[in-house]
Chain A
Amino acid sequence: MSWITSYPATTFMPIQATEIAKEVDLLYAFLIISSLISFVILIGGMTWFLIKFKRSSVDQKSAYITHNNFAEFLWSFIPLVIMMVIFYWGMVIFEKLRVPPTDIAAEIHVTAEQWAWTYKYANGKEFYSSANDPLVVPSGKATKLILTSKDVIHSFFVPTFRAKQDAVPGRYTQIWFEPTLPGDYIVFCTEYCGTKHSGMMIKIKAIPSEEYAAWYHAESKGADTPADKGKVIFAQRACASCHSIDGSRIVGPTMKGLYGNARKFADGSTAKADDQYLRESILVSTAKIVESYAPAMPLFQGQLTDEEVENLIEYIKTIK
């Protein structure tokens, strides 16, 4: 396999399969160079002193120097400045890694378990890593994965994308990426999860977006989509008696245009209505109360399965 070595071997980083990977590697190069310079100053300086000030006779006396305020200021202040630069630079990249763009071409639910991954697409297609199915995504377009786990914590790591996110049981996390070129990219599990931790390896298969569109529709199994199933649950649980789908105000907030929008809460805080927010609000409605509404919704913790919650959220996403 050439996915590691095809990139200039001097850096030892995997190939750069996303634009962000290039940005990460630029920071990496800066870190390597600034570390080398620091190392040469420190250890080179030390070695020079050791040679120059080696004891040569028994009665030789050392100088008596207790401190030097200017030097001490310099070697406190300069490292501080460099480290703040590295912090800021890292933060800029971190935010790009964490915040997905608004135009997501594929949104896939990825569920980890000991020791396999399941990928479920919005149209109901489902694949299993245990059947050696790759995770198919479009290249040149952004893909967002909504991660969770059935048992212990796992972690979704794509070295060629420089991206990583833990999959935590009982909640959703997300990771996004945009592979620049079609190809196969290895995914590791990087949170220790037991016996076959190192075997939890899958491949992301990025294919051109037209091909992806054809694949996505052609292989559709024709079953109900998660959103369709969610609509049924929405009716069964009588959600509509408090939550309108047309924007009108009933007892609770409307579902119309809810997903992805900013919410303002009774305690003054705000949050974006993402998957994790919806999950929490369905299961434990009292966790965050939307401003001007009363905490009237029953708790569904233990009443709905993980899959039902997932389907409800997929349905809510369609109410625009």
Chain B
Amino acid sequence: MSSTQTKTTHSHVAHGDNYLNHSSGLWSWLTTKDHKRIGLMYFATVATLFLIGGFFALGIRLHLAKFGSTPLLDPDTYNKFMTFHGAIMVFMVIIPGIPAFLGNFVLPIQLGAKDVAFPRLNLASYYIFVAGALLAASSMYFNQVDTGWTFYTPYSTAKTGNGVILLVMGAFTMGFSSILTGLNFIVTTHKLRAPGMTMDRIPLMIWALYSTSIIQILATPILAITLLLLAMEKTLGVGIFDPDLGGDPVLFQHFFWFYSHPAVYIMILPAMGVISELITAFSKKTIFGYRAIAYSSVAIAAVSFLVWGHHMFVSGQSTFAGIMFSVITMLVGVPTAIKLFNWISTMYRGTVTFEAPMLFALGFMFLFTIGGLTGVFLASTGMDVHFHDTYFVVAHFHYVMVGGTLMALMGGIYYWFPKMFGRMTSDLGGRISWVLIFTGFNVTFFPQFILGAMGMPRRYFDYLPEYTNLNQISTVGSWLIGLGFLVGLITIIHGIVAGEKASANPWGAKTLEWQTASPPPHENFLETPKVTAGPYDFR
């Protein structure tokens, strides 16, 4: 985006006035309607929840290493660790991570808008999310849940304690936050674009958030109803899923995955948006195949509703249904492959630099490719029968969710950090953090593919001696990941407190958020920008 695109530059900003110091005091933050501040509040909340979820992950791995002669955890405690790790990371970190945190901060500025379409609703979404998280977390105090994050019936309704109601109602509540944020983003994208910003000039981050929002609005209500039915069965004895009450337990799986499979794309599509931004900015080159990437996001969102049955090939679902779900699932591979090829082609004849955000983007490419390819193994019915519910699946979805989404989230944090806080993070700190996380991730999760091939089932408190060595390697890897995030946390805190002052556009990127001051003024731009070219015009 050349300087002709927008007349607003940081020199016009009244000296020192920005969104961070526009008003002061805790109350001004708690009642803010500024999307940037709400974004940062999500940052703090999600980061805290991530540390809690990470604590459970390290506990699981330490237990499974069997270093001592006695088990670290007893079976029920292990099952609770496994449940809280999954539930926190899925519902409270990965799903809100990029859309609610980075999306909230970036989307309106990238569109050249002053804020989202409904700022008050945006603040409400945040508090609904916090309320849901607290409700879910309260189960840790009152009655810990051991169902796994999938809450399969009739175990969850007939065999375990009532804590599951709290956790489920927490997820139910957070769903509304997700729906309202999605609604806000869709309306903002349609109605608040700067003059000249046609739909084929919006950054790919926006296309990704837009596709995600569609899924959030259409799929989350299904989860809400499902979880409500589950809570009703448990409290009132309404027989929906429990066969003893005349229900069908497999029906729950259909309902649950009808949301939770699209939710996988709620988790990965925004990450793909971040990657499009990072790769163009650090290759200093226009995106290759803008339309292909934009439309493939929408295609993935559409197809994502028709593949839920691939979680159920051995559940008792009919053979014919399994085959249909398999072939549709294969179709998701095509838009995914398109994106990977487009990103790589974007680097071709570019001028690439390797700052910390770019390293995370490249880490994403490496790990997500492995996650995607192993997904093809699982989509193939005959092969999946062996791998289903083994560590192969655990490894696969960690490569996608952590290797994909979390790597993109970390890259996005380092990338937009100067815009958020007006300061730079230490590039060295970011690089060290990346090396540790990337190495540790592969050491942790690659052996789990092998464990899965060898037949080790997931959610196992104990295992056969054949599996010991690989489990111990995996545990050592988890420490490297933990150390990497610790270095990352220190780097970020150091950046906030003592980072170098950042210029308006430290990376030389072209999208609109870099054409305003760092940090931006209260309403993002002093003068509404006018857009005359595409988002990555590095000519």
Q: Shortest distance in angstroms between B277's beta carbon and chain A's nearest beta carbon?
A: 16
Q: How far is the CA of A94 from the CA of B379 in the complex (A)?
A: 12
Q: Shortest distance in angstroms between B459's beta carbon and chain A's nearest beta carbon?
A: 4
- Tell me which of A28, A61, A162, A170 has the highest count of chain B C-beta atoms within 10 A of its own C-beta: A170
A53 touches B385 (CB 8 A): no
- Is A163 an interface residue, CB under 8 A from the partner? yes
Residues of chain B within 8 A of A1, CB atoms compared: 464-466
A31-B377, A94-B381, A168-B250 as given contacts; A87 in contact with B326, CB under 8 Å: yes
- Is A70 an interface residue, CB under 8 A from the partner? no
Partner of A152, one of B155, B374, B379: B155
A53 touches B349 (CB 8 A): yes
A192 touches B148 (CB 8 A): yes
B288 touches A196 (CB 8 A): no
B368-411 interface bits toward A, Cβ cutoff 8 Å, 1 = contact, 0 = none: 01100110110111111110111000000000000000000000
A129-159 interface bits toward B, Cβ cutoff 8 Å, 1 = contact, 0 = none: 0000000000000000000000111010101
Q: A37-45, A240-248, A290-298: which one contacts chain B?
A: A37-45
Least CB separation from A60: chain B residue: B351
Q: For chain A, what secondary structure do more than half of its interface residues adopt (helix, strand, loop), or is it mixed? A: mixed
Q: For chain B, what secondary structure do more than half of its interface residues adopt (helix, strand, loop), or is it mixed? A: helix
- Is B314 an interface residue, CB under 8 A from the partner? yes
Least CB separation from A151: chain B residue: B159
B348 touches A198 (CB 8 A): no
Residues of chain B within 8 A of A223, CB atoms compared: none
A168 touches B249 (CB 8 A): yes
Q: How far is the CA of A234 from the CA of B348 in the complex (A)?
A: 76
A72 touches B289 (CB 8 A): yes
Q: How far is the CA of A64 from the CA of B320 in the complex (A)?
A: 48
Residues of chain A within 8 A of B344, CB atoms compared: 42, 45-46, 49
- Tell me which of B75, B290, B292, B386 has the highest count of chain A C-beta atoms within 10 A of its own C-beta: B386
Q: How far is the CA of A43 from the CA of B368 in the complex (A)?
A: 11
A198 touches B457 (CB 8 A): yes
Q: How far is the CA of A39 from the CA of B158 in the complex (A)?
A: 45
B188-212 interface bits toward A, Cβ cutoff 8 Å, 1 = contact, 0 = none: 0000000000000000000000000
B333 touches A27 (CB 8 A): no
B385 touches A94 (CB 8 A): yes
Q: How far is the CA of A39 from the CA of B453 in the complex (A)?
A: 19
Q: How far is the CA of A165 from the CA of B314 in the complex (A)?
A: 5
Residues of chain A within 8 A of B337, CB atoms compared: 75-76, 79
B380 touches A87 (CB 8 A): yes
- Is B334 an interface residue, CB under 8 A from the partner? yes
A64-B286, A170-B243 as given contacts; A84 in contact with B330, CB under 8 Å: yes
Chain A residues numbered 178-214 whose CB sits less than 8 Å from any CB in chain B: 186, 188-199
B455 touches A14 (CB 8 A): yes
Partner of B383, one of A31, A42, A53: A31
- Tell me which of A56, A83, A95 has the highest count of chain B C-beta atoms within 10 A of its own C-beta: A83
B330 touches A83 (CB 8 A): yes
Chain B residues numbered 331-353 whose CB sits less than 8 Å from any CB in chain A: 331, 333-334, 337-338, 340-342, 344-345, 347-353
Q: Shortest distance in angstroms between B357's beta carbon and chain A's nearest beta carbon?
A: 15
Partner of B349, one of A63, A90, A165: A63
B462 touches A63 (CB 8 A): no
B273-294 interface bits toward A, Cβ cutoff 8 Å, 1 = contact, 0 = none: 0000000000111101111100
Partner of B382, one of A5, A94, A165: A94
Partner of A170, one of B248, B292, B382, B385: B248
Q: Shortest distance in angstroms between A40's beta carbon and chain B's nearest beta carbon?
A: 10
Q: How far is the CA of A83 from the CA of B362 in the complex (A)?
A: 25
- Tell me which of B75, B285, B314, B369 has the highest count of chain A C-beta atoms within 10 A of its own C-beta: B314
Counting from the closest, the 5 A-B pairs by CB-CB distance are A170-B243, A93-B382, A159-B455, A90-B380, A94-B381
Q: Other than the known A49-B344, A171-B316, what 11 A-B pairs have Cβ atoms closer than 8 Å?
A: A23-B382, A24-B383, A24-B386, A63-B285, A66-B289, A71-B345, A72-B341, A83-B330, A83-B331, A94-B313, A192-B79
